[in-house]
């Protein structure tokens, strides 16, 4: 049986309430989930957080604003540029994290990369479900998801947005809040890769090219390792190999 996590509610820099799920004891590692997802789906349900916690880690897993059990304020003003980075920085300060690790999947990986690019220096970092184009060409991805929101009620099976829309429906997202959130994400996650000396694990499904080339991303990072797991962008999150690979990297 999958181990459960405790939940805390933390007001962010602007008072927006963020749900934070915590599992295990030991060295802190913060894990950031993907777009339209939440900590339960990305990290807890399929046992990944439990595998990491078993290696002696305190796994801290926030739900992004407009996701999961966190608040989804309807006003555009609640989604200033880089709001997810600002929320993450606030949580790092709230928990007093100094010597810690950081990782994310998809949008969580992009947010992690954005923090690295701004000078954050965790002990180790994980960029999962991410390729070079997902960091340098966000505009194309944003347009895809904005179009998916617009086709939410009308898309038919076979539409390229169909799978994303079905996931949104499963997650019961707030479409208005999500539109504001998508607009808050800057185009480029990292301006200068050469300044990032943190050991980084680029971790990707063998059949995942949703965010471009993980090989190109690993080549750009000065201190990166590239690890593969089974699956596509959607399915690799359900595979035990995801948590196993993360735990090995963090514990090494």
pLDDT tens readout for residues 193-236: 999 999 999 999 999 999 999 999 999 999 999 999 999 999 99
Q: Taking CA 52 as the corner, what is the angle to CA 48 and CA 56, rounded to the nearest 5 degrees?
A: 160
Number of domains, the chain: 1
Q: Is 118 a member of any domain? A: yes
How many other CB atoms are there within 10 angstroms of residue 106's CB atom?
Answer: 26
Report the C-alpha dihedral over residues 25, 231, 63, 226, rounded to 10 degrees: 60
Q: Is 204 a member of any domain? A: yes
Mean pLDDT by 10 residues, the chain (252 residues): 84 98 98 98 98 98 98 98 98 98 98 97 98 91 94 95 95 97 94 94 97 97 98 97 98 97
Q: What is the CATH number of the domain that holds 202?
A: 3.40.50.1820
Please report, for residues 35, 45, 228, the alpha-carbon distance to residue 38 in angstroms, rounded to integers and kept in the order given: 8, 10, 23
Q: Is 95 a member of any domain? A: yes
Q: Is 31 a member of any domain? A: yes
d(CA 144, CA 188): 17
Q: Is 181 a member of any domain? A: yes
pLDDT tens for each residue of 58-76: 999 999 999 999 999 999 9
- Domain extent, residue 121, equals 6-251
Q: Is 1 a member of any domain? A: no
């Amino acid at each position: 049986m999958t181990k459960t996590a405790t939940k805390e509610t933390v007001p962010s820099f602007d008072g927006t309430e963020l749900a934070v799920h915590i599992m295990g004891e030991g060295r802190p590692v913060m894990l950031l989930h993907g777009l339209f997802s939440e900590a339960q789906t990305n990290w807890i349900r399929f046992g990944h957080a439990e595998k990491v916690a078993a290696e002696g880690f305190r796994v801290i897993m926030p739900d992004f604003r407009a996701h999961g059990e966190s608040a989804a304020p309807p006003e555009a003003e609640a989604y200033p540029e880089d709001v997810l980075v600002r929320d993450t920085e606030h949580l790092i300060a709230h928990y007093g994290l100094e010597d810690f690790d950081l990782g994310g999947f998809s949008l969580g990986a992009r947010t992690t990369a954005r923090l690295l690019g701004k000078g954050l220096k965790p002990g180790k970092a994980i960029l999962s479900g991410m390729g070079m184009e997902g960091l340098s060409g966000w505009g194309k991805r944003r347009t895809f998801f904005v179009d998916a929101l617009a086709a939410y009620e009308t898309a038919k099976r076979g539409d390229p947005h169909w799978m994303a829309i079905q996931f949104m429906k499963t997650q019961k997202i707030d479409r208005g809040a999500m539109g504001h959130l998508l607009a808050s994400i800057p185009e480029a996650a990292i301006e200068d890769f050469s300044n990032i000396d943190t050991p980084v694990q680029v971790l990707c499904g063998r059949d995942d090219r949703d965010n471009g080339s993980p090989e190109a991303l690993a080549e750009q990072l000065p201190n990166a390792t590239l690890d593969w797991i089974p699956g596509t962008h959607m399915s690799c999150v359900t595979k035990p190999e995801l948590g196993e690979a993360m735990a090995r990297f963090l514990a090494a």
